[in-house]
Amino acid sequence: MKSAGSLEGDWSEKKLSVLADYLASYTTALSKQRLGRIYVDAFAGNGSDGSLRGGADTAGGFPLEFVHGSARIALRTAPRFDRFLFVGASAERSAQLEALRSELPDRAAGIQVLAGDANGQLEALCEWDWRFRRAVLVLDPLATAVDWTTLEAVASTRAIDVWMLLPLEMPSLRTLSRCEEIHPEWRRRIDTLLGTTDWAEDFCRAVQLDEDLFGEFEERLEKAAIEMIGRPLLARLATVFAGVAEKPVVLRNSENCPLYLLCFAVGNEKGKKMALETAQRLMSDLR
Protein backbone atom coordinates (compact mmCIF):
# COMPACT_ATOMS: atom_id res chain seq x y z
CA MET A 1 0.00 0.00 0.00
CA LYS A 2 1.08 3.55 -0.63
CA SER A 3 1.91 5.67 2.37
CA ALA A 4 -0.08 8.76 3.20
CA GLY A 5 2.84 10.77 1.92
CA SER A 6 3.61 14.41 2.36
CA LEU A 7 1.26 17.33 1.92
CA GLU A 8 4.01 18.97 -0.14
CA GLY A 9 2.32 17.85 -3.34
CA ASP A 10 0.36 20.20 -5.55
CA TRP A 11 -3.16 19.38 -4.29
CA SER A 12 -3.36 22.59 -2.29
CA GLU A 13 -1.91 24.77 -5.01
CA LYS A 14 -4.41 23.32 -7.47
CA LYS A 15 -7.29 23.91 -5.08
CA LEU A 16 -6.17 27.47 -4.48
CA SER A 17 -5.79 28.19 -8.20
CA VAL A 18 -9.37 27.08 -8.78
CA LEU A 19 -10.59 29.20 -5.89
CA ALA A 20 -8.66 32.28 -7.05
CA ASP A 21 -10.11 32.05 -10.55
CA TYR A 22 -13.62 31.41 -9.29
CA LEU A 23 -13.56 34.33 -6.83
CA ALA A 24 -12.36 36.72 -9.53
CA SER A 25 -15.12 35.56 -11.89
CA TYR A 26 -17.67 35.76 -9.07
CA THR A 27 -16.91 39.33 -8.01
CA THR A 28 -16.66 40.44 -11.63
CA ALA A 29 -20.12 39.04 -12.36
CA LEU A 30 -21.57 40.84 -9.32
CA SER A 31 -19.67 44.10 -9.75
CA LYS A 32 -22.49 45.82 -11.64
CA GLN A 33 -25.21 44.62 -9.28
CA ARG A 34 -26.28 46.29 -6.06
CA LEU A 35 -25.49 43.28 -3.94
CA GLY A 36 -23.15 43.03 -0.99
CA ARG A 37 -20.28 40.63 -1.72
CA ILE A 38 -19.12 38.47 1.19
CA TYR A 39 -16.38 35.86 1.50
CA VAL A 40 -16.75 33.29 4.29
CA ASP A 41 -13.98 30.88 5.29
CA ALA A 42 -15.21 28.31 7.79
CA PHE A 43 -12.76 26.23 9.83
CA ALA A 44 -10.22 28.85 8.73
CA GLY A 45 -6.54 28.36 9.42
CA ASN A 46 -3.95 31.10 9.69
CA GLY A 47 -4.51 32.37 6.17
CA SER A 48 -1.56 30.45 4.77
CA ASP A 49 -1.49 26.92 3.42
CA GLY A 50 1.36 24.72 4.54
CA SER A 51 1.92 23.50 1.03
CA LEU A 52 5.19 24.21 -0.70
CA ARG A 53 5.78 25.22 -4.28
CA GLY A 54 9.02 24.05 -5.84
CA GLY A 55 12.15 23.34 -3.84
CA ALA A 56 12.05 23.17 -0.07
CA ASP A 57 15.76 22.68 0.62
CA THR A 58 16.80 25.74 2.61
CA ALA A 59 20.21 24.20 3.32
CA GLY A 60 20.81 24.05 -0.41
CA GLY A 61 19.99 27.72 -0.80
CA PHE A 62 16.41 27.34 -2.04
CA PRO A 63 13.99 29.43 0.06
CA LEU A 64 10.72 27.95 1.30
CA GLU A 65 7.90 29.49 -0.67
CA PHE A 66 4.53 29.08 1.00
CA VAL A 67 1.51 29.19 -1.26
CA HIS A 68 -0.94 31.89 -0.23
CA GLY A 69 -3.95 30.33 1.49
CA SER A 70 -7.58 30.91 0.68
CA ALA A 71 -7.82 33.81 3.13
CA ARG A 72 -5.17 35.86 1.38
CA ILE A 73 -6.52 34.95 -2.04
CA ALA A 74 -9.96 36.23 -1.05
CA LEU A 75 -8.55 39.41 0.44
CA ARG A 76 -6.62 40.14 -2.76
CA THR A 77 -9.43 39.32 -5.16
CA ALA A 78 -10.31 42.06 -7.63
CA PRO A 79 -12.97 43.31 -7.95
CA ARG A 80 -12.95 43.13 -4.16
CA PHE A 81 -15.35 41.62 -1.67
CA ASP A 82 -17.11 43.98 0.74
CA ARG A 83 -16.72 41.77 3.80
CA PHE A 84 -14.54 38.86 4.87
CA LEU A 85 -15.72 36.50 7.59
CA PHE A 86 -13.24 33.97 8.98
CA VAL A 87 -14.49 31.34 11.38
CA GLY A 88 -11.49 30.20 13.44
CA ALA A 89 -11.32 26.75 14.99
CA SER A 90 -9.17 27.91 17.92
CA ALA A 91 -7.98 31.02 19.76
CA GLU A 92 -4.55 30.64 18.17
CA ARG A 93 -5.93 30.49 14.66
CA SER A 94 -8.23 33.41 15.35
CA ALA A 95 -5.26 35.49 16.52
CA GLN A 96 -3.35 34.59 13.36
CA LEU A 97 -6.28 35.65 11.22
CA GLU A 98 -6.56 38.90 13.13
CA ALA A 99 -2.98 39.62 12.04
CA LEU A 100 -4.22 39.90 8.47
CA ARG A 101 -5.69 43.28 9.43
CA SER A 102 -2.23 44.80 9.79
CA GLU A 103 -0.85 42.91 6.81
CA LEU A 104 -3.62 44.20 4.52
CA PRO A 105 -4.73 47.52 6.06
CA ASP A 106 -6.85 48.54 3.06
CA ARG A 107 -9.06 45.50 3.75
CA ALA A 108 -8.97 45.75 7.56
CA ALA A 109 -12.37 47.37 8.01
CA GLY A 110 -14.07 44.49 6.21
CA ILE A 111 -12.35 41.67 8.09
CA GLN A 112 -14.26 39.91 10.87
CA VAL A 113 -12.95 36.89 12.76
CA LEU A 114 -15.55 34.70 14.46
CA ALA A 115 -14.17 32.31 17.07
CA GLY A 116 -15.99 29.27 18.36
CA ASP A 117 -18.12 26.49 16.89
CA ALA A 118 -18.28 26.91 13.12
CA ASN A 119 -21.65 25.21 12.80
CA GLY A 120 -23.21 27.65 15.25
CA GLN A 121 -21.54 30.64 13.61
CA LEU A 122 -22.66 29.58 10.13
CA GLU A 123 -26.23 28.98 11.24
CA ALA A 124 -26.32 32.44 12.84
CA LEU A 125 -24.93 33.89 9.60
CA CYS A 126 -27.70 32.23 7.64
CA GLU A 127 -30.29 34.15 9.66
CA TRP A 128 -29.18 37.44 8.05
CA ASP A 129 -31.35 39.11 5.43
CA TRP A 130 -29.81 37.72 2.24
CA ARG A 131 -32.05 39.45 -0.29
CA PHE A 132 -29.35 42.00 -1.10
CA ARG A 133 -26.26 39.94 -0.29
CA ARG A 134 -24.33 37.15 -1.96
CA ALA A 135 -21.46 35.05 -0.59
CA VAL A 136 -18.91 32.37 -1.34
CA LEU A 137 -18.32 29.92 1.51
CA VAL A 138 -15.21 27.75 1.72
CA LEU A 139 -15.33 24.69 3.99
CA ASP A 140 -11.66 23.84 4.11
CA PRO A 141 -10.23 21.38 4.95
CA LEU A 142 -12.27 19.75 7.71
CA ALA A 143 -15.54 19.35 5.85
CA THR A 144 -16.51 16.37 7.98
CA ALA A 145 -16.77 18.74 10.95
CA VAL A 146 -19.80 20.41 9.38
CA ASP A 147 -23.29 19.16 10.14
CA TRP A 148 -25.93 18.45 7.51
CA THR A 149 -28.32 20.83 9.29
CA THR A 150 -25.73 23.59 8.76
CA LEU A 151 -25.52 22.84 5.03
CA GLU A 152 -29.31 22.97 4.88
CA ALA A 153 -29.27 26.37 6.57
CA VAL A 154 -26.64 27.64 4.11
CA ALA A 155 -28.70 26.42 1.16
CA SER A 156 -31.86 28.03 2.56
CA THR A 157 -30.35 31.51 2.10
CA ARG A 158 -30.48 31.01 -1.69
CA ALA A 159 -27.47 33.31 -1.79
CA ILE A 160 -24.33 31.34 -0.85
CA ASP A 161 -22.08 29.30 -3.14
CA VAL A 162 -20.05 26.58 -1.40
CA TRP A 163 -16.63 25.06 -2.09
CA MET A 164 -16.05 22.06 0.14
CA LEU A 165 -13.22 19.58 0.63
CA LEU A 166 -14.24 16.10 1.74
CA PRO A 167 -11.25 14.30 3.31
CA LEU A 168 -10.53 10.91 1.72
CA GLU A 169 -7.13 10.14 3.29
CA MET A 170 -7.99 8.71 6.70
CA PRO A 171 -5.87 6.14 8.61
CA SER A 172 -8.95 4.26 9.76
CA LEU A 173 -9.96 3.77 6.13
CA ARG A 174 -6.59 2.89 4.71
CA THR A 175 -6.13 0.05 7.18
CA LEU A 176 -9.61 -1.35 7.15
CA SER A 177 -10.29 -4.84 5.89
CA ARG A 178 -13.56 -5.50 7.71
CA CYS A 179 -16.56 -3.24 8.10
CA GLU A 180 -16.33 -3.36 11.91
CA GLU A 181 -12.96 -1.64 11.73
CA ILE A 182 -14.37 1.70 10.56
CA HIS A 183 -13.50 4.05 13.39
CA PRO A 184 -16.71 4.89 15.32
CA GLU A 185 -15.91 8.61 15.43
CA TRP A 186 -15.27 8.77 11.69
CA ARG A 187 -18.50 6.85 11.02
CA ARG A 188 -20.36 9.33 13.26
CA ARG A 189 -18.87 12.30 11.43
CA ILE A 190 -19.93 10.98 8.02
CA ASP A 191 -23.41 10.19 9.39
CA THR A 192 -23.63 13.78 10.63
CA LEU A 193 -22.29 15.28 7.41
CA LEU A 194 -24.70 13.33 5.18
CA GLY A 195 -27.61 13.43 7.62
CA THR A 196 -28.12 9.71 7.04
CA THR A 197 -26.53 6.33 7.84
CA ASP A 198 -27.38 4.73 4.51
CA TRP A 199 -23.85 5.06 3.13
CA ALA A 200 -22.13 2.67 5.59
CA GLU A 201 -23.49 -0.68 4.39
CA ASP A 202 -22.68 -0.05 0.73
CA PHE A 203 -19.25 1.30 1.63
CA CYS A 204 -18.35 -1.72 3.73
CA ARG A 205 -19.55 -4.12 1.05
CA ALA A 206 -17.40 -2.36 -1.56
CA VAL A 207 -14.16 -2.61 0.39
CA GLN A 208 -14.51 -6.14 1.76
CA LEU A 209 -11.82 -7.45 -0.56
CA ASP A 210 -8.65 -9.38 0.15
CA GLU A 211 -5.74 -6.91 0.11
CA ASP A 212 -3.62 -9.33 -1.87
CA LEU A 213 -6.18 -10.01 -4.59
CA PHE A 214 -4.40 -8.66 -7.67
CA GLY A 215 -3.22 -5.75 -5.53
CA GLU A 216 -6.59 -4.09 -5.99
CA PHE A 217 -7.50 -3.33 -2.39
CA GLU A 218 -6.22 0.24 -2.34
CA GLU A 219 -7.86 1.08 -5.66
CA ARG A 220 -11.14 -0.46 -4.50
CA LEU A 221 -10.90 1.48 -1.24
CA GLU A 222 -10.35 4.77 -3.06
CA LYS A 223 -13.21 4.11 -5.47
CA ALA A 224 -15.52 3.14 -2.61
CA ALA A 225 -14.70 6.30 -0.66
CA ILE A 226 -15.53 8.44 -3.67
CA GLU A 227 -18.58 6.51 -4.83
CA MET A 228 -20.14 5.63 -1.47
CA ILE A 229 -19.43 8.89 0.36
CA GLY A 230 -18.78 11.51 -2.32
CA ARG A 231 -21.72 10.54 -4.52
CA PRO A 232 -24.27 10.49 -1.64
CA LEU A 233 -22.95 13.87 -0.50
CA LEU A 234 -23.48 15.37 -3.96
CA ALA A 235 -26.94 13.83 -4.17
CA ARG A 236 -27.85 15.26 -0.78
CA LEU A 237 -26.49 18.69 -1.69
CA ALA A 238 -28.57 18.64 -4.88
CA THR A 239 -31.76 18.31 -2.80
CA VAL A 240 -31.20 21.67 -1.09
CA PHE A 241 -28.92 23.79 -3.31
CA ALA A 242 -29.83 25.36 -6.64
CA GLY A 243 -27.16 23.31 -8.40
CA VAL A 244 -24.18 21.02 -7.79
CA ALA A 245 -21.11 20.35 -9.92
CA GLU A 246 -21.61 16.78 -11.08
CA LYS A 247 -17.95 15.81 -11.31
CA PRO A 248 -15.98 16.59 -8.15
CA VAL A 249 -12.20 16.50 -8.34
CA VAL A 250 -9.91 14.14 -6.44
CA LEU A 251 -6.92 16.07 -5.10
CA ARG A 252 -3.76 14.05 -4.49
CA ASN A 253 -0.46 14.58 -2.70
CA SER A 254 3.07 14.23 -4.09
CA GLU A 255 2.86 10.43 -3.83
CA ASN A 256 -0.40 10.33 -5.79
CA CYS A 257 -2.48 9.37 -2.74
CA PRO A 258 -6.02 10.79 -2.79
CA LEU A 259 -6.48 13.31 0.01
CA TYR A 260 -9.62 15.29 -0.72
CA LEU A 261 -12.68 15.40 -2.91
CA LEU A 262 -13.29 18.99 -4.08
CA CYS A 263 -17.02 19.68 -4.38
CA PHE A 264 -19.04 22.74 -5.41
CA ALA A 265 -22.66 23.81 -4.88
CA VAL A 266 -24.36 27.01 -6.02
CA GLY A 267 -26.93 28.80 -3.90
CA ASN A 268 -28.82 31.20 -6.14
CA GLU A 269 -31.10 29.96 -8.90
CA LYS A 270 -30.59 33.05 -11.09
CA GLY A 271 -26.82 32.71 -10.99
CA LYS A 272 -26.77 28.92 -11.27
CA LYS A 273 -25.93 28.57 -14.97
CA MET A 274 -22.92 30.86 -14.94
CA ALA A 275 -21.65 29.63 -11.56
CA LEU A 276 -21.81 25.96 -12.54
CA GLU A 277 -20.24 26.55 -15.94
CA THR A 278 -17.37 28.46 -14.34
CA ALA A 279 -16.82 25.96 -11.51
CA GLN A 280 -16.99 22.90 -13.74
CA ARG A 281 -14.62 24.44 -16.29
CA LEU A 282 -12.08 25.21 -13.58
CA MET A 283 -12.46 21.77 -12.02
CA SER A 284 -12.07 20.03 -15.37
CA ASP A 285 -8.68 21.68 -15.76
CA LEU A 286 -7.48 19.70 -12.72
CA ARG A 287 -8.29 16.29 -14.14
pLDDT at residue 171, as a whole number: 46
pLDDT at residue 130, as a whole number: 97
Given a cut of 70, is residue 170 above it in pLDDT? no
Give the separation between CA 44 and CA 5, rounded to whole angstroms. Answer: 23
Q: Residue 69 — very low, low, confident or very high, per pLDDT cuts 50/70/90?
A: confident
Taking residues 241-245, report their average pLDDT: 96
Q: What share of the chain in percent tops pLDDT 90? A: 35
Name the average pLDDT for the chain: 76
- Least trusted range by pLDDT, from 12-16, 48-52, 263-267, 276-280: 48-52
pTM of structure? 0.80
Give the separation between CA 266 and CA 248, rounded to whole angstroms. Answer: 14
> Which tens digits make up the pLDDT trace of 21-39?
999 999 999 998 999 999 9
Q: Residue 146 — very low, low, confident or very high, per pLDDT cuts 50/70/90?
A: confident
Strand 133-139 with 160-167, pairing: parallel
